[in-house]
Structure 1
Amino acid sequence: MNKAAEKSTQQFESVFVSPMRSYTLAALDYYQQVVSAQMDAARAYSDMTIAQARTWLDVKDADSFKKAMESQQKTASDLMERMKGDSEKVTSISQNFMQESQKMAEETTKKAVETAKQ
């Protein structure tokens, strides 16, 4: 009787607990990467905004106004490139998580089928 209970516990661990733990760890890693990417992006956007505001505070004449306008155009271009890169980064993180999750689901299904055959 004790062996049967032990086997059931091992099967439960193998089919349910272990895969859920693996998925949870993968999900936590995913969320940590996404939040980190978002925080990096927010910091970069804030830095660009503050730098641009400082540029405008230095406007004193037509020449400095022209320089501020040029700086604003460059900042806007840099911001668009940064946003594109950040979007690609988050997409890549999401795709990796999706592929990893799909692989885990397939492995779990395979284990469940093998366990059911026993």
Structure 2
Amino acid sequence: MNKAAEKNTQQLETIFVSPMRSYTNAALDYYDQAMSAQLDAARAYADMSVAQMRVWLEVKDADSLKKAVDSQQKAAGDMVERFKNDAEKLTSLGQTFAQESQKMAEQNVKNATEVTQKAATEVTQKAANQ
């Protein structure tokens, strides 16, 4: 009886527990990386905004106004480039996670099929021996 319980536990581990653990680990890694990328982006946007506010506080004459406008244009270009890079990074993270999830699902189906076929074979052999 102990051997049968051990076998059932092993099958449960192979079919459900291990795949769930693998998926949860991959999901946590994805969310950690995505959250980190978003926090980095938020910090960069805040830093750019504060820097621009400081530039505008220094406007005292026509020359400093021109510098502020030029700085604003450069900052806008930098911000657009940053948005683009951040979007690409998050898209890449999402695609990688989706691909990993698909591979895990395919492997889990394969493993479950093998375990089920093996169990069916054993049941058939036991029935034939009785």
Pairwise CA distance, 1:3: 1.2
> How far apart, in 1, do the equivalents of 2:52 and 2:6 lie?
66
**1:54 to 2:54 alignment:** yes
The C-alpha deviation readout for 1:30-71, integer Å capped at 9, x for no partner, is: 000000000000000000000000000000001100110000
Pairwise CA distance, 1:5: 1.1
Count of residues paired in the alignment = 118
> How far apart, in 2, do the equivalents of 1:39 and 1:2 lie?
51
**1:66 to 2:66 alignment:** yes
Q: Which residue of 2 aligns with 1:18?
A: 18
Gaps of 5+ in 2: 119-130
Q: Which residue of 2 aligns with 1:111?
A: 111
User: Quick one: which amino acid aligns to residue 82 of structure 2?
Assistant: R
Pairwise CA distance, 1:4: 1.2
Q: Which residue of 2 aligns with 1:90?
A: 90
Identity between Structure 1 and Structure 2 (%): 67
Pairwise CA distance, 1:80: 0.1
Provide the secondary structure at the position in 2 that maps to 1:59.
coil
Listed as ranges, the matches of 1:30-41 within 5 Å are: 30-41=30-41
Stretches (4+) displaced over 3 A: none
Gaps of 5+ in 1: none
Provide the secondary structure at the position in 1 that maps to 2:111.
helix
> How far apart, in 2, do the equivalents of 1:117 and 1:89 lie?
42
RMSD: 0.5
The structure with the largest alpha-carbon Rg is 2
